[in-house]
């Protein structure tokens, strides 16, 4: 369950999951948007360098972002982008680099997070799935709170061993779980729930990308039709 007290004390909130398709990007976008609409200066950072998505929902270009900053091509001011939501800025992932894991380990990543913590009330990080690549593990050290996304009837029970082991080894702190797309069937036979349906297709053969061109729920909520 999401712990309100932990959330209020957190400066950097990292959102991750076991694999692709569990809805972590959707949650991170909505989390950042809601915090911003509550009057807090917020930045959403796309640190899923292998699978950039955030720019699409905010109708932003992805020619500059985290990757171009980490290789020294752009400075911090170049990559911070305004959104139509008051108090919310976004840093997109940038062009997909050939070496995401190496880039994350650069000292420039530490500089980026430090700068954002000083400039914003909250920093929300859209991280890669922790069960697929090492990038998310490297990013955990920057988070004050980690939100771990589970998807009903999708996340496998054995996948939770990953996060349990990290918690036991104290590699992760203040972790909370969000159950996505939970369906509840009443005695009258009606089903209720949310449908976020996000896919990755990292090239590792995990889950296929949903190719249907339809407007996301995020767009329906936060943008004009």
Predicted TM-score of the model (pTM): 0.76
User: How many other C-beta atoms lie within 10 A of the C-beta of residue 2?
Assistant: 11
Domains of the chain: which residue ranges?
4-222
pLDDT tens, residue by residue, 60-91:
999 999 999 999 999 999 999 999 999 999 99
Q: Are 124 and 45 contacting, i.e. CB atoms less than 8 angstroms apart?
A: yes
CA distance 202 to 67: 17
Strands (E), 115-185: 122-126, 145-151, 175-180, 184-185
* Burial (0-12, 13-18, 19+ Cβ within 10 Å), 156: exposed
pLDDT at 125 over 90: yes
* Residue 178 pLDDT grade (very low, low, confident, very high; cuts 50, 70, 90): confident
Percent above pLDDT 90 for the chain: 42
Residue 192, SS3 per DSSP: strand
Q: Which has more pLDDT, 46 or 186?
A: 46
Average pLDDT, the chain: 77
3-state helix/strand/coil string of 26-43: HHHHHHHHHHHHCCCCEE
User: Is 4-222 assigned to CATH 3.40.50.300?
Assistant: yes
Q: Which has more pLDDT, 208 or 149?
A: 149
The phi-psi region of residue 21 (left if phi > 0; otherwise alpha if psi is between -120 and 50; otherwise beta) is left
What pLDDT, on a 0 to 100 scale, did the predictor assign at position 153? 63
């Amino acid at each position: 369950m999401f712990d309100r007290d932990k959330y209020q004390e957190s400066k950097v909130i990292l959102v991750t999951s076991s694999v692709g398709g569990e809805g972590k990007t959707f949650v991170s976008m909505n989390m950042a948007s809601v915090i911003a609409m509550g009057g807090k200066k917020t930045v959403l950072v796309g640190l899923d360098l292998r699978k950039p998505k955030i720019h699409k929902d905010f109708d932003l270009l992805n020619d500059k972002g985290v990757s171009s900053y980490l290789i020294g091509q752009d400075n911090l001011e170049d990559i911070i982008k305004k959104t139509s939501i008051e108090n919310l800025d976004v840093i997109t992932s940038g062009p997909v680099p050939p070496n995401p894991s190496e880039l994350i380990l650069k000292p420039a990543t530490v500089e980026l997070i430090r700068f954002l913590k000083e400039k914003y009330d909250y920093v929300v990080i859209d991280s890669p799935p922790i069960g697929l690549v090492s990038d998310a593990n490297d990013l955990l050290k920057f988070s004050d709170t980690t939100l771990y996304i589970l998807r009903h009837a999708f996340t496998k029970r054995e996948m939770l061993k990953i996060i349990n082991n990290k918690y036991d080894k104290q590699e992760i702190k203040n972790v909370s779980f969000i159950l996505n797309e939970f369906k509840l069937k009443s005695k009258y036979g009606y089903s209720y729930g949310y449908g976020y349906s996000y896919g990755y297709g990292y090239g590792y053969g995990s889950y296929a990308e949903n190719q249907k061109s339809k407007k996301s729920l995020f767009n329906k909520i936060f943008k004009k039709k």
